[in-house]
Chain A
Amino acid sequence: MLWFIVKRILWSVPTMVLISIATFIIIQLPPGDYVTAYIAELEETGESITAVEAAELRKSFGLDRPLVVQYWDWISRIVLRGDFGLSLDWKLPVSDLLWDRIALTLMISTLSLLLTWAIAIPIGVYAATRQYSVFDYVFTVLGFLGRGIPDFLLALVLMWLGFAYFNFHVGGLYSPGMAEAPWSLAKFLDLLGHLWVPVVVLATGGAAGLLRVMRANMLEELGKPYVETAYAQGMGEREVVWRYPVRVALNPFFSTVGWALPALISGDVITAVVLNLPTTGPLLLRALLNQDMYMAGGFILILSIFTIIGTLLSDILLTLTDPRIRYA
């Protein structure tokens, strides 16, 4: 078991190296570079710069050096000093920009993930144990509706409802004036007052899909002979269902919980933009649009590392919960 974990961790090292190289190649792929994008932006506002000035700019950003050197420069700073370089667009260190938003992103995403599970698992289990009941049909319809309605639309509707009928301030995570205020109880309560909209929006969409998966997993497990064995031992229905098939039906969740980690960071970009949330999603979108290469590269790298850590976590969780894997 321990050896398994150590082996997995060791394997993740070369994986990360390969990912960092791939990341760097990806951010170099689009034609042009930041300076080209910058010139285009200037031209839109009627200004222009000469070729010499452009070369000067490239040199000052280090964009004129060979790719290998640029890569080495970039990665060694990240590994040795945690320095992701300077955002060309914001003229600020990438790490400052990122970490600022990651905490909030994690909070929103974790809450919505927990809410997703809290909604989806009990309903999925119940719908499966009472297949084709009124309850099952109602939640089948609601599930498909939830799946079908885009998150951003739901966000808009909730915002409108909150604004028009309850006179809430919606959009963003703080009321005007609170965002810059130092942390206090009032600010925290204000945050909670805003947080529910994105959390509900993100959770309903996810729960609708998860509900169907849970129901299908449970239906498959409920038909297995060991469930009948459990009844024949004299257990009541609730104990049988939660102790046996739910345990097994959750395994696919454990094995995908790792994917939730990178999803937490990238978040639902569109929803975040619509709700004007200061999370990482809109930041990534903007970095990609502006060819802000160090920003985008830092982002992709962090996402990839989260993916690797998440997969590792999944593997470990799965070995803990499923003896068939532990002793295979």
Chain B
Amino acid sequence: MMLNSENLLEIEDLNVSFALRDRTLNAVNGINLSIKPGEVLGVVGESGSGKSLTARAVLNLMPRTAIVSGSVRFRARQGAVSVLDHGRESREMRALRGGQIGMIFQEPMTALSPVHSVGQQVMKTLTLHTDLRKKALEDRATELLDLVQLPDPRGMLKRYPHQLSGGMRQRAMIAMALSCNPSLLLADEPTTALDVTTEAQILELIRGLQDQFNMGVMFITHNFGVVAELADRVTVMNHGIVEETGSIDDIFYAPRVAYTQKLLRLIPRLPDYAMADSQSAAPARVATAEAPPKETVVRVENLKMHFPTKKDWAGRVTEELKAVDDVSFVIRRGETFGLVGESGSGKSTVARSILRAYQPTGGSVQFKAPDGDYHELTALQGDKLRAMRAHMQMVFQDPYSSLNPRMTVEQLITEPLVNQGETRSGPMQERAADLLERVGLKPDMLSRYPHAFSGGQRQRIGIARALVTNPSFVVLDESVSALDVSIAAQTISLLKDLQDRLGLTYLFITHDLSMISNFADHIGVMQTGKLVETGPTEAFFANPQDPYSKRLLNAVPIPDPRRARALRQARKEALAS
């Protein structure tokens, strides 16, 4: 078995396939890649590209039904090991997993056992691979939790995953992966589920530890911004093959393959002026953008939504969560208001309070209906509320769970009309067919069920459903967050196109600043239930006022490695001086 003396890991002609009922699914199709000691290889690709399976092949932990060929060679402490030649359950493989190859996963919420404490889980890895026991074991676990900068590491040993935030769990996960000083770290989308500010911290942590222990890292992600922050080399994967591999600068500034070029073109980027270093670079367009003010469609004033969290014995509320606390803004006709913030900031609660999925505990929401009058939404009840809902619709985040799998596309799309009291009829079917065409699907798909569609197509069905009642106002709640880069780009242009043609007014809720910077006319930033800043998009990105907005904007990973390096250097110098 040959392993190039320079390499820590070599994957040669890896094939992974699954036998389906009527055909063979080739998930990984002849992959070649290598990682040197101390090198960070970014593996980028959209869903279904085979990147996660490749990482699992390194640990020989693929699904049992997988048919595998090819070779994975790893330079272990005892010498070169050909991973796929050993059984999944063999002692050799178990010694490598966690002992010499660490792995961290995407879902900080579910990747740790819910019934074992953080300490138990970190110490488990140590007991499997070292002779440490009792006091020494506990000391080492404490040391590791300290290494990943968790507060009060000794107390942390006894805490359970559900008591920690997502970022803290990911730190605990990293402590587990690093506990036995692995020479290779596999990281499968470790920051995808985190907020941007947390993501920036975790990336910095991984970079620091990689430096400190000179680990090889295989960093799997769909996010070019994250790759630019971290990787030395990049492999771009697509449908089970490697499109190209190259140094980070080559991939970003001189991509050879059409697929890479397309992805780089489609990823949402912050506008240039947002990244200008001085505030004077704010574009002149801000000053000239003084168009005549459009009419207000939605006016939110002092909106409050407080949820009781504790009651005393008599049922009186003693503690409450101020999910939305005194929020005011206006949305004008034909415009998009981008409401941004991290998870738990209350942005979705604002949308639900406006649409009256919740009864707000205070404030007012004025909505201009097609009859020309303003209606106080917070005061509507019963049939009047139901009728008003025809004018306001919502597109959800998850294209999988937001469509009832037992309904056909036609039933799904026409459901809002039925809710409005109409009976299913020929014209209704025509309307559904017409909408399907508008969102770029074929009318003959009406009789099919959601499972027959891809994520992007499902989201289009969700959009068609939102438009069936001819609404004037649509709430988009993270509506492109679950989609792949190219699909998200298509969906965004569809949404823009529909807005122009139908004169729609959008409230776009998102955590993705790069995406919304190219979409919204106005931006509002939420933090812990409060709206900390609002303003026209360009002014906001050029010169954010609130300290939290600045922090949020700084944390956005930028798909530009040269810039990322320069920023890192500047930060280092600032720390040194």
Which residues does A use to contact B, with CB under 8 Å?
A: 224-226, 228-237, 244, 247-248, 321-324, 327
Does the CB pair A231–B114 fall under 8 Å?
no
Give every chain A residue within 8 A of B102 (Cβ-Cβ).
Answer: 232
Closest to B88 in A: A237
Chain A residues contacting B129 (CB-CB under 8 Å) are: 234
**B100-122 to A contact mask, C-beta < 8 Å, 1/0:** 00110111001111111100000
Are A232 and B61 in touch, CB under 8 angstroms? yes
Picked from B94, B105, B177, the residue with its CB within 8 Å of the CB of A235 is B94
In the assembled complex, which residues on chain A have CB atoms less than 8 Å from the CB atom of B128? Answer: 233-235
Given contacts A226-B110, A323-B160, contact A232 B115 (CB under 8 A): no
7 A-B residue pairs with CB within 8 Å? A225-B105, A225-B107, A225-B110, A232-B97, A232-B103, A324-B115, A327-B163
Q: Are A225 and B111 in contact (CB under 8 A)?
A: yes
**Given A248-B115, A321-B115, A324-B160, A233 and B107 contact (CB-CB distance below 8 Å):** no
Contacting pair B94 A225 (CB below 8 A): no
Chain B: minimal CB distance from A227 (Å): 9
Query: Contacts A233-B124, A234-B95 given: A323-B89 contact, CB under 8 Å?
Result: no
With a cutoff of 8 Å between Cβ atoms, the chain A residues found around residue B160 in the complex are 323-324, 327
Interchain CB contact under 8 A, A231 and B111? no
Q: Which residue of B lies closest to A230 (CB)?
A: B113
The DSSP consensus for interface residues of chain A is: helix
Cβ of B98 < 8 Å from any Cβ of A?
A: yes
A232–B56 Cα distance when bound, in Å, is 9
Cβ A228 vs Cβ B105 within 8 A: yes
Report, as a range, how many residues of chain B touch the other chain: 20 to 34
Nearest chain A CB to B174's CB is how many angstroms away?
A: 12
Given A232-B103, A234-B99, 8 new contacts (CB under 8 A): A225-B111, A229-B113, A231-B59, A232-B98, A233-B128, A236-B94, A248-B114, A327-B162
Task: Flag whether B173 is at the interface (Cβ < 8 A).
Answer: yes
Contacts of B103 in A (CB 8 A): 229, 232
Please, how many angstroms separate the alpha-carbon atoms of A230 and B105 in the complex? 11
**Which of B98, B106, B114, B115 touches A234 (beta carbons < 8 Å)?**
B98
Instruction: State whether A323 touches B111 (Cβ < 8 A).
Output: no
Kindly report which residue of chain B lies nearest to residue A250, judged by CB atoms.
B115
Question: Residues of A contacting B111 with CB < 8 Å?
Answer: 225-226, 228-229
Separation of A269 and B430 alpha carbons in the complex (Å) = 60
A321 proximity list for chain B (CB < 8 A): 115
B109: nearest chain-A partner, CB-CB: A225
Which residues of chain A have C-beta atoms less than 8 A from B163's C-beta?
A: 327
Please state if A231 and B61 are interface contacts (CB–CB under 8 Å): yes
B432 interfacial contact with A, CB 8 Å: no
Question: In the complex, what distance in Å separates the CA atom of A234 from the CA atom of B177?
Answer: 11
The reply to whether A233 and B98 form a contact with Cβ atoms under 8 Å apart is: yes
B61–A229 touching, CB < 8 Å: no
**With A226-B112, A248-B115, A327-B160 in contact, do A233 and B105 touch (Cβ < 8 Å)?**
no
Q: Inside 8 A of A324's CB, which chain B residues have their CB?
A: 114-115, 160, 162
Which residue in chain B gives the minimum CB-CB distance to A132? B65
Quick one: which of A224, A234, A237, A323 contacts B97, CB cutoff 8 A?
A: A234
Nearest chain A residue, comparing its CB with the CB of B106: A225
Tell me how far the C-beta of B171 lies from the nearest C-beta in chain A, rounded to whole angstroms: 14
The CA of A237 and the CA of B94, in the complex, are separated in Å by: 10
Hey, which chain A residues are within 8 Å of B509, CB to CB?
A: none
Q: Taking CB as reference atom, which chain B residue is nearest A233?
A: B98
